[in-house]
Amino acid sequence: MRASATILDRVSIGTKDADTLLRDTLLVVGASVLLALSAHVQIPGPLPLTMQTFVVVLVAAALGSKRGAAAVLAYLAQGAAGLPVFAHGTAGPAYFVGPTGGYLIGFLVAAFVVGRMAERGWDRRFSTAIVTFLLGHLLILSIGFVWRSGFVGPAVAAADGFIKTMPGMLIKSVLAAMVLPIAWRWAGKSDESDGMTAE
């Protein structure tokens, strides 16, 4: 009787593990597709904004450090394979060594850091969520700046990579904090917490 129960327990655990793996895979793939689509979404205005960094930090907070980083890696793999998933429909390995290649590295670093901060509860308050997303954006911009400086010089890289993008970074960080509860439900995190608090 005990042996039968042990076998059933193992089968049950194996089924749960398989279900978890399937769910994680679908979430990672879905997030990578969302990131690819966001590269082609622009907000018109004096300073046109793409939604890539918004999706990077939001996905990382919803999925956590490992799955968030995995989603970015899947997205980068799609681009390396030649799929037109980068901004302006570009793709291929050459894009990684171009002037904007540093931002792609920044995506990966920011996804892991934001995901880790979310795992420590920084996403549970509106104010700390904004701080988390601002840090994620700063990481992306900083790594992109260092990389791009080698191509255009520090002055131009700073003007384009920080001064002109700072308003957009602030807007996207606040927007990400506002829609984060929706991302939690998409990732199945709604039962893990009472939700975001205002302070």
pLDDT (tens digit, 9 = 90+) per residue, 103-141? 999 999 999 999 999 999 999 999 999 999 999 999 999
H-helix or E-strand containing 108? helix 101-119
Mean pLDDT of 80-100: 86
Specify the higher pLDDT residue, 85 or 1: 85
Tokens representing residue 3 in the block: 């042996």
Flag whether pLDDT at 192 surpasses 50: no
What residue spans of 64-165 are helical by DSSP H?
65-80, 101-119, 126-152, 154-158
Q: Using CA atoms, how far apart are residues 107 and 139, in angstroms rounded to an integer?
A: 8
Model confidence band, residue 18 (pLDDT cutoffs 50, 70, 90): confident
Cβ neighbours for 10, distance < 8 A, ≥ 6 positions apart:
none
* CATH number for region 24-187: 1.10.1760.20
| Torsion over CA: 59, 63, 65, 70 (sign) | negative
Cβ neighbours for 42, distance < 8 A, ≥ 6 positions apart:
48, 49, 50, 51
| Torsion over CA: 122, 123, 124, 129 (sign) | positive
Instruction: Write phi, then psi, for 50 (nearest 5 degrees).
Output: -90, 165
Three-state secondary structure call for residue 7 = helix
Alpha-carbon dihedral 130, 136, 140, 142, rounded to 10 degrees: 80
Q: Using CA atoms, how far apart are residues 171 and 179, in angstroms rounded to an integer?
A: 12
Specify the higher pLDDT residue, 49 or 83: 83
Flag whether pLDDT at 47 surpasses 50: no
Tokens representing residue 169 in the block: 């970074």
Q: Using CA atoms, how far apart are residues 27 and 36, in angstroms rounded to an integer?
A: 14
Tokens representing residue 136 in the block: 């994620």
H-helix or E-strand containing 92? none
